Amino acid sequence: MENVADFKEIIDLIKENGGDAFKLCYQCGLCDVVCPWNRVRSFSMRKIVREATFGLTEIESEDIWRCTTCGKCPKACPRDVKQIESGVSLRRIAAEYGVFPAHVRPIRAVGASLKGEGNPLNEDRDKRADWAKGHSVKPFTEDMEILYFPGCYLSYDPRLKKAAQATANILKKANVDFGILGTKENCCGESIRKAGSEELFISLAKENIKTFIDSGVKKILVSSPHCYHTFKNEYPEFMVNFEVVHISQYILELINEGRLELKGEYNKKVTYHDPCYLGRHNGIFSEPRITLNKVPGLQLIEMADSMQDSLCCGGGGGRIWMETPKEERFSDLRVEQAIDIDAEVLATSCPYCITNFEDSRLSLDDSETLEIKDIAEIINEII
């Protein structure tokens, strides 16, 4: 009897943390058929769901941290089990008890850095706008057309700063009146939320919302699909609605309005990788492709697993901060898919994808075979 009571308590705890939909599952196993993990090792979301339904979840298990929130299985599930939200409920319980398996432990340092400095990279808040030095980027003021919100990785990561600088240059060439928040910008909080730290997400979101309102922000341009997703779909939980546009959409808008002219040529074979949070989660598939097709000389070719079926890079759901053994990296498979079609450039529009692809590229026999580019970097080369 004691055990039954324990299981009931766990079921109630899971329900309180947002996992009520687990009970809808009828164990068809479609989630496991589509999950990218089963290309690199065995993993069963179906099993996680079954155990949670009976209150048998082991919160110290590595498996509850595996999901990258790629969005594939929720699209395939016939019972709307909401595997992402339900799965996050288990992480919330584990995070609350401070139970992290070894490969998940970096999350603790990430949480401390987010709390102290507003970024997950253990960088100083004071240096958040350093990427813009020498690029004549102004602080945002209320009368400006748009706020550019580069996000943490484009602000600090040496590789990704180049994408932020390319974006600023594009905006200047198109005469867009824009500014940045600089040290007042905080991490959007999307990924730490998916890693189970709900309170931290709420505090980051509230700080950002206050800054947006105090600064008179109406329209926000983002470079990260994760910022896009949370500003558009999660911040409205706080009764606010800001207009949000992703750089892959905005570049096309600027070209179509005649504000941005593509003057040069880019004579390369390019393939485009759909980031999960831009494509599957938010339906933005065509704008990046239309933009790339407008580039003179560029030949756009498709890889296997494109658009709705895009193969996750492995970085979502907080996995970008966790350790993944080399032989289990989805990004290695993706880079191979690009090489299989003789692409010279693997283009995308997400800081996590670029980070993972750059890592995978370096492990190729000849790392010069393939370039990894943000769309903004390609456009910046020909304006």
Can you give the binding site for ligand SF4, defined by CB under 6 A?
Answer: 25-31, 34-37, 45-46, 49, 67-73, 76-79, 81, 83-84
Separation CA 159–CA 359 (nearest Å): 11
Which is closer to ligand SF4, CB of 190 or CB of 374?
190
Shortest Cβ 85–ligand SF4 spacing (Å): 11
Which is closer to ligand SF4, CB of 329 or CB of 373?
329
| Residue 126 contacts residue 116 (beta carbons within 8 Å) | no
| Residue 274 contacts residue 306 (beta carbons within 8 Å) | yes
Position 121, amino acid: L
Closest by alpha carbon to 94, among 120, 62, 69, 70?
Answer: 62
Which is closer to ligand SF4, CB of 304 or CB of 341?
304
Shortest Cβ 208–ligand SF4 spacing (Å): 26
Shortest Cβ 41–ligand SF4 spacing (Å): 12
Shortest Cβ 50–ligand SF4 spacing (Å): 8
Which residues are bridge partners to 245 per DSSP? 221
Tokens for 295, please give them.
Answer: 């580039």
Which is closer to ligand SF4, CB of 128 or CB of 193?
193
Shortest Cβ 304–ligand SF4 spacing (Å): 17
Shortest Cβ 72–ligand SF4 spacing (Å): 4
Shortest Cβ 285–ligand SF4 spacing (Å): 18
The end-to-end CA distance of the chain, in Å, is 72
Task: Find where tokens 């079609």 sit.
Answer: 341
Which is closer to ligand SF4, CB of 343 or CB of 353?
353
In Å, how far from its chain's centre is CA 30? Answer: 24
Tokens for 110, please give them.
Answer: 């990430």
Pairing between β-strand 146-149 and β-strand 269-272 as defined by DSSP bridges: unpaired
Tell me if residue 180 falls in helix, strand or coil: strand
Tell me if residue 228 falls in helix, strand or coil: helix
Distances (CA, A) of 14 to 7, 8, 54: 11, 10, 11
Which is closer to ligand SF4, CB of 10 or CB of 70?
70
Which is closer to ligand SF4, CB of 71 or CB of 179?
71
Shortest Cβ 14–ligand SF4 spacing (Å): 14
Helix, strand, coil share (%) of the chain residues, nearest 5: 55, 10, 40
Tokens for 149, please give them.
Answer: 């919100």
Which is closer to ligand SF4, CB of 77 or CB of 270?
77
Residue spans of beta strands (DSSP E) within 226-355: 243-246, 269-272, 299-301, 345-348
